[in-house]
Chains A and B, each alone.
Chain A
């Protein structure tokens, strides 16, 4: 019967087809697996290793990493395995057999195929960190506290070099003499001394030993360290936490003023995106249309730091003038801004101090504070910033300004900001600036400009000028730059309530009289063909007029 035959043939055909497909699947899923082929070529003491799935499991860290199925030589107990693509893990504090791989390197630990495991596939938000940015992984847990701004760090490093400590000590893989008798390094490796700590009387101990030792490094390289340098050495060593690249990157971050707009762990301004977990950005969701090159997160950050508005449409972030080194540092540091829920026993001490004892993630000296919070707008030298499309950022390190302004005015300006302008009230407690930081920043500004605070014996309000005459003079001389009602055009606004309450009359009078060099503000007391000359009485009238804006009607 025809239909029976047709059905029999159909049954036979589809059954054979299913059989074929099942065999194909079985072969594909069991024989042709990458890791099986890799393991087949691995030798341990000359013997083949058993081919089975290897993994590092640490429930506390939420890690189940099958990376060691291919990277057999990084599996616990199999470090001496050899074969294609097998190399031992560099010596680090964290045992890969305990911490797994993804806790530091990112990637998809549960995957068993190379592309999936390295996370360079769709729908895996956390691809592996590229090898050049491996130290970014440290940021997952470590806070790297005590880091100063970059030029300070560089100064410290230079001092360290100058004192020739590297003659005996190895730091970050450089330096350290080997004893000729095979006794290892002359001095201990200091690469992670910032984590382990060092004895407070190290200098005395060195002096004592120097009196006894006769080996050449002691005789030739050792010199007693002056007190000032000793403090520098100690601070420099406190930043040696086995992640030199990340510490350097953080130092660059702290000198680029990023915290002026961005928050990091609750510290910083509110204009920009919170950066606390910026390194966890999913490259699959990032817009790469304006980013040439590979679709990786570090490439995206790199391009974004160079030209923010081109990469993110509508970005208010200015294109900072950065060197290539700065860009790669900022990229590395941003990549390091990632977190992972780890139990307390795994929390490193530096993170613990930051998280539980509100220690800062950066040094608190005036230079670093200014670098971290202020340079984004006021420039690294404090001389202000002019950028297209935004109001000019004033030069706060201007010597004339600092000569005229008492510390109280500068502090009050930092504390209360300029309402209505980009300068926020840094003392309101929400930006992470502490009360004791403000004098430090002011002191740094004075150091930067080389201008001490001038002594002002007069009361804060002493000017008794003619308001009407002042209005006429203001209209004629000042309104062109400061605006008819002091709202500020090219020059700063004068009708700002914080300025009007905090500034003394002496400050206004001095500024009008002597001007501010390097800006459009000329000395109006001096005669000049380009502007009218104001007498002291005229100046007092103008100040009286300006003061009248502060009076509530």
Chain B
């Protein structure tokens, strides 16, 4: 009787302690209330330990990164969540796909809103990932020891574009159908060269690429299920894995890139009390020092603050800001849904997704150069930059390095002007094919507005290398020029190309067919 009474009391006490024990077991090192317990919490949490425990104040300045990486991650999460919601209703089969889009639009509660958010977050992700890359480039953050992370970042850029592109087909409307047809034709562009050489019959890498992409000769049910699988499973998994590596490497490579004299640049922060925690437990033994250069070694942690809460507030703020922007855009602007896909009624002009319109513009000049040649040169160049630019001046500073902001400014003007000039020239005067109708295609492949523009940029960049005696200066110029060219070509492709890819000042001037 007595023993039973005790057992009941123990049971009651245990029950009473459940919330406390739950919290204790969840946090493992106790509730994160002091800087020290917060640090151990961050260190011990599987997700949070991607951050270092303390964050440099330089990294928390808004101007350092503008939060672009976190914004990209936020956009990824938003597309992930809204995408899963859309998957509840989406049916990946021609016609049925379109009808399910209509149901999502009209009947599923807030379906249209969720799709709008998905669409805007996807576009936001493409924009922020490009801007994020530009930020990393202009602050020379690709330099040692971050070379590999730069390459991971490039892979993430490709995956992001792939995610967006594969999602483009899923609504199965005219816009989707013909955009993907154009995209698949860009994949087929090596045929221009194999055709000119007359070897397409035996060696057809372009046709193979297109076949692999579509699973068939035309965009059809095979392509749809293929794109769906890539979009909802394969590419998100690859992206998530690459992101984990990307973030982990930030920590392992010593946090964000900082100028060498960062401590002198930062004003003493009156509010940064206490700089050391109440209970300093961690000391830097030699064995604990990360191999290689660590920002803390030899300098002391004076300008670091605990990641929790300082960094987490910053990250959460950027996250919510991204959510806000995507939601606001979703309220004011509906994602497009045109007529059901009809292979018999081509859209004219058929346009690829906007971020490929620069490529489509180049493809209009020469399929091979636009689809393979120039993108390959750009990608190889971007991948090689960290290994060619071994300089140290300007790391962690915006437009750091020889030449600096004035150089970038001039390069931007030149990049934009050259692209506008080449476009204006070809729109006004045409190109070799118009002047010499019988000219061999290989000549046009080699000499076309795209390659001419690339050559101008390359020449300017080489001149910069000699002028400043610095690879970084050349890279700054080249990157800026290509960014300008990308901008001009994309804008021309988006707003000024009409039926048959002819130039028009406005869609209002398009002939009706």
Contact = CB atoms under 8 A, between A and B. Distances in A.
Interface of A: 1-4, 6-8, 10-11, 14-15, 17-18, 21-22, 24-26, 28-30, 53, 64, 66, 108, 110-113, 116, 122-125, 282, 284-289
A2 B316 CA distance: 16
Nearest to A30: B109
A28 B113 CA distance: 10
A4 B313 contact: yes
Given A18-B323, A110-B106, 13 more contacts: A1-B310, A11-B313, A21-B328, A29-B109, A64-B99, A108-B102, A110-B103, A111-B106, A123-B338, A123-B339, A125-B339, A285-B513, A289-B512
Contacts of A22: 327
A3 B314 contact: yes
B310 A4 contact: yes
A51 B457 CA distance: 64
B331 A2 contact: no
Contacts of A288: 512
Which residue of A7, A53, A287 has the most chain B CB atoms within 10 A of its CB atom?
A: A7
Given A3-B60, A3-B314, A282 B339 contact: yes
Given A1-B272, A2-B269, A3-B62, A66 B106 contact: yes
A31 to B, nearest CB: 12
B245 interface: no
Nearest to B98: A110
Interface in B113-165: 113
B447 interface: no
Contact of B110 (A26, A112, A123): A26
Given A14-B324, A15-B320, A25-B110, A6 B62 contact: yes
B339 A8 contact: no
B103 A7 contact: no
A276 to B, nearest CB: 15
B233 interface: no
B96 to A, nearest CB: 11
A18 B327 contact: yes
A502 to B, nearest CB: 42
Interface of B: 57, 60-62, 99, 102-103, 106-107, 109-110, 112-113, 173-174, 269, 271-272, 305, 309-310, 313-314, 316-318, 320-321, 323-324, 327-328, 330-331, 336-339, 345, 512-513
A57 B98 CA distance: 17
B310 A10 contact: no
Given A111-B106, A123-B337, A287-B512, A7 B314 contact: yes
B317 A7 contact: yes
A110 B102 contact: yes
Identify which of B309, B318, B320 gathers the most chain A CB atoms within 10 Å of its CB: B320
Nearest to A117: B106
B334 to A, nearest CB: 11
Contact of B331 (A25, A53, A113, A284): A25
Contacts of A116: 106
Contacts of B57: 3
A14 B109 contact: no
Contacts of B337: 123
A264 to B, nearest CB: 20
Top 7 A-B residue pairs of the complex, sorted by shortest distance between their CB atoms: A14-B320, A1-B271, A10-B317, A11-B317, A287-B512, A123-B338, A7-B313
A14 B321 contact: yes
A25, A124, A286: most-surrounded residue (chain B CB, <10 A): A25
Nearest to B342: A125
Nearest to A53: B107
Contacts, number: 99
Contacts of B323: 14, 18
B249 to A, nearest CB: 24
Contacts of A6: 62
B41 to A, nearest CB: 18
B327 A21 contact: yes
Contacts of A124: 339
Contact of A25 (B102, B113, B317): B113
Contacts of A110: 99, 102-103, 106-107
Contacts of B321: 10, 14
B106 A113 contact: yes
Main DSSP-derived SS at the A contact region: helix
6 contacts: A2-B271, A24-B331, A64-B99, A123-B336, A123-B337, A286-B512
Nearest to B327: A21
B61 A3 contact: yes
Contacts of A125: 339
Given A25-B113, A29-B110, A17 B310 contact: no
Nearest to A126: B339
Given A8-B313, A15-B320, A123-B338, A29 B269 contact: no
Contacts of A17: 324, 328
B305 A1 contact: yes
Contacts of A282: 339
Contacts of A21: 324, 327-328, 331
Nearest to A17: B324
Contacts of B338: 122-123
Contacts of B314: 3, 7
B19 to A, nearest CB: 26
Contacts of B109: 29-30
Nearest to A26: B110
Given A1-B305, A17-B324, A18-B327, A112 B106 contact: yes
Nearest to A11: B317
B436 to A, nearest CB: 32
B339 A11 contact: no
A113 to B, nearest CB: 7
Nearest to B271: A1
B513 A66 contact: no
Nearest to A109: B102
Contacts of A122: 338
A21 B325 CA distance: 10
A288 B305 CA distance: 67
B113 A11 contact: no
A104 to B, nearest CB: 20
B48 to A, nearest CB: 17
B171 to A, nearest CB: 11
B165 to A, nearest CB: 22
Contacts of A284: 339
A150 B170 CA distance: 50
Contacts of A123: 173-174, 336-339
A205 B452 CA distance: 93
A17 B107 CA distance: 26
A329 B467 CA distance: 79
A138 to B, nearest CB: 24
A285 B512 CA distance: 8
A29 to B, nearest CB: 5
B8 to A, nearest CB: 46
Nearest to B336: A123
Nearest to A123: B338
Contact of A11 (B99, B310, B320): B320
Nearest to A9: B317
A21 B345 CA distance: 39
The CB with the most chain B CB atoms within 10 A, among A110, A113, A289, is that of: A110
A292 B385 CA distance: 61
B339 A112 contact: no
Contacts of A29: 109-110, 112-113
A288 B512 CA distance: 9
A506 B336 CA distance: 72
A124 B113 CA distance: 20
Nearest to A284: B339
A284 B345 CA distance: 13
Nearest to B309: A4
A55 to B, nearest CB: 8
Given A15-B320, A18-B323, A112 B271 contact: no
Contacts of A3: 57, 60-62, 310, 314
A288 B99 CA distance: 29
Nearest to B511: A287
